[in-house]
Amino acid sequence: MSKVAKTEQEWKETLTPEQFHVLREKGTERPFTGNYWNLKDDGAYLCAGCGTELFRSGEKFDAHCGWPSFYDSLDKSKIVETVDNAYGMHRVEVTCANCGGHLGHVFPDGPEPTGIRYCINSASLEFKPKT
Protein backbone atom coordinates (compact mmCIF):
# COMPACT_ATOMS: atom_id res chain seq x y z
CA MET A 1 0.00 0.00 0.00
CA SER A 2 1.55 3.28 -1.07
CA LYS A 3 0.94 6.36 1.06
CA VAL A 4 -1.38 9.00 -0.34
CA ALA A 5 0.24 12.42 -0.59
CA LYS A 6 -1.98 15.30 -1.72
CA THR A 7 -1.81 19.02 -1.24
CA GLU A 8 -4.49 20.75 0.79
CA GLN A 9 -5.96 22.09 -2.45
CA GLU A 10 -6.08 18.58 -3.97
CA TRP A 11 -7.92 17.32 -0.87
CA LYS A 12 -10.41 20.19 -1.16
CA GLU A 13 -11.05 19.27 -4.79
CA THR A 14 -11.68 15.56 -4.08
CA LEU A 15 -13.60 15.67 -0.78
CA THR A 16 -16.92 17.25 0.16
CA PRO A 17 -16.64 20.20 2.57
CA GLU A 18 -17.77 17.97 5.47
CA GLN A 19 -15.33 15.20 4.55
CA PHE A 20 -12.51 17.75 4.32
CA HIS A 21 -13.42 19.18 7.73
CA VAL A 22 -13.43 15.74 9.38
CA LEU A 23 -10.59 14.00 7.53
CA ARG A 24 -8.14 16.88 7.12
CA GLU A 25 -9.06 19.32 9.92
CA LYS A 26 -9.86 16.66 12.58
CA GLY A 27 -13.46 17.78 12.82
CA THR A 28 -16.42 15.84 14.17
CA GLU A 29 -19.87 15.53 12.68
CA ARG A 30 -22.88 16.02 14.93
CA PRO A 31 -24.17 12.75 16.45
CA PHE A 32 -27.07 10.98 14.74
CA THR A 33 -26.55 12.95 11.50
CA GLY A 34 -24.09 10.87 9.48
CA ASN A 35 -24.99 8.39 6.75
CA TYR A 36 -23.72 5.30 8.56
CA TRP A 37 -24.44 5.61 12.30
CA ASN A 38 -27.55 3.42 11.96
CA LEU A 39 -26.72 1.45 8.79
CA LYS A 40 -27.18 -2.27 9.29
CA ASP A 41 -26.26 -3.52 5.79
CA ASP A 42 -23.52 -6.12 5.24
CA GLY A 43 -20.33 -4.79 3.74
CA ALA A 44 -17.11 -2.94 4.31
CA TYR A 45 -16.32 0.60 5.48
CA LEU A 46 -13.55 2.31 3.55
CA CYS A 47 -11.62 5.51 4.19
CA ALA A 48 -13.40 8.29 2.27
CA GLY A 49 -10.03 9.89 1.60
CA CYS A 50 -8.19 7.03 -0.05
CA GLY A 51 -10.46 3.96 -0.29
CA THR A 52 -8.55 1.79 2.18
CA GLU A 53 -10.81 -0.87 3.71
CA LEU A 54 -10.83 -0.22 7.47
CA PHE A 55 -13.86 -1.84 9.12
CA ARG A 56 -16.47 -4.52 8.37
CA SER A 57 -20.15 -4.58 9.22
CA GLY A 58 -19.68 -7.78 11.26
CA GLU A 59 -17.78 -5.79 13.91
CA LYS A 60 -20.21 -2.85 13.93
CA PHE A 61 -22.53 -2.42 16.91
CA ASP A 62 -25.02 0.11 18.23
CA ALA A 63 -23.25 2.07 20.96
CA HIS A 64 -26.18 4.54 21.22
CA CYS A 65 -23.69 7.39 20.70
CA GLY A 66 -24.79 8.60 17.25
CA TRP A 67 -21.66 7.60 15.33
CA PRO A 68 -20.74 4.32 13.63
CA SER A 69 -19.10 2.13 16.26
CA PHE A 70 -16.95 -0.95 15.76
CA TYR A 71 -15.44 -3.30 18.33
CA ASP A 72 -12.50 -4.12 16.05
CA SER A 73 -10.78 -2.88 12.92
CA LEU A 74 -10.16 -4.97 9.83
CA ASP A 75 -6.37 -4.79 10.16
CA LYS A 76 -4.43 -2.86 12.82
CA SER A 77 -1.78 -1.91 10.26
CA LYS A 78 -4.39 0.13 8.34
CA ILE A 79 -5.05 2.53 11.22
CA VAL A 80 -2.89 4.61 13.52
CA GLU A 81 -3.82 5.30 17.14
CA THR A 82 -2.38 8.46 18.72
CA VAL A 83 -2.93 10.01 22.16
CA ASP A 84 -5.13 13.10 21.84
CA ASN A 85 -5.27 15.49 24.81
CA ALA A 86 -7.10 18.30 22.96
CA TYR A 87 -9.91 20.21 24.65
CA GLY A 88 -8.84 19.02 28.12
CA MET A 89 -9.83 15.41 27.36
CA HIS A 90 -7.66 12.30 27.25
CA ARG A 91 -8.62 10.29 24.18
CA VAL A 92 -7.00 8.15 21.52
CA GLU A 93 -7.38 9.48 17.97
CA VAL A 94 -7.75 7.04 15.07
CA THR A 95 -6.35 7.99 11.65
CA CYS A 96 -6.00 6.15 8.35
CA ALA A 97 -2.45 4.78 8.01
CA ASN A 98 -2.56 5.30 4.24
CA CYS A 99 -3.65 8.94 3.92
CA GLY A 100 -3.48 10.27 7.49
CA GLY A 101 -7.17 11.17 7.50
CA HIS A 102 -8.83 11.68 10.89
CA LEU A 103 -11.45 8.96 11.42
CA GLY A 104 -12.54 9.41 15.04
CA HIS A 105 -11.47 8.03 18.41
CA VAL A 106 -11.19 4.70 20.20
CA PHE A 107 -12.48 4.15 23.73
CA PRO A 108 -12.15 1.27 26.24
CA ASP A 109 -15.92 0.83 26.68
CA GLY A 110 -16.89 -1.53 23.86
CA PRO A 111 -18.37 -5.01 23.93
CA GLU A 112 -16.57 -8.34 24.04
CA PRO A 113 -14.48 -9.81 22.57
CA THR A 114 -12.25 -6.70 22.47
CA GLY A 115 -13.80 -4.34 25.02
CA ILE A 116 -13.02 -1.39 22.76
CA ARG A 117 -15.18 1.00 20.73
CA TYR A 118 -13.96 2.66 17.58
CA CYS A 119 -16.20 5.73 17.38
CA ILE A 120 -15.88 6.81 13.74
CA ASN A 121 -17.32 9.75 11.82
CA SER A 122 -19.59 8.75 8.92
CA ALA A 123 -18.04 11.57 6.90
CA SER A 124 -14.65 9.83 7.06
CA LEU A 125 -16.11 6.63 5.58
CA GLU A 126 -17.55 5.21 2.38
CA PHE A 127 -19.63 2.04 2.47
CA LYS A 128 -19.12 -0.85 0.04
CA PRO A 129 -22.03 -3.32 0.18
CA LYS A 130 -21.25 -7.02 0.27
CA THR A 131 -21.80 -8.56 -3.16
The terminus-to-terminus CA distance of the chain in angstroms comes to 24
* In contact, 95 and 103? CB cutoff 8 Å: yes
119 tagged catalytic: yes
Length of the chain: 131
Catalytic residue among 47, 50, 96, 119: 119
DSSP lists the bridge partners of residue 47 as 125
In sequence order, what DSSP letters do the residues of 25-60 get, joined into one string? H---PPTT-SSSTT---SEEEEETTT--EEEEGGGE
Q: How far apart are the C-alpha atoms of 129 and 131, rounded to whole Å?
A: 6
Instruction: Point out the residues that are catalytic.
Output: 119
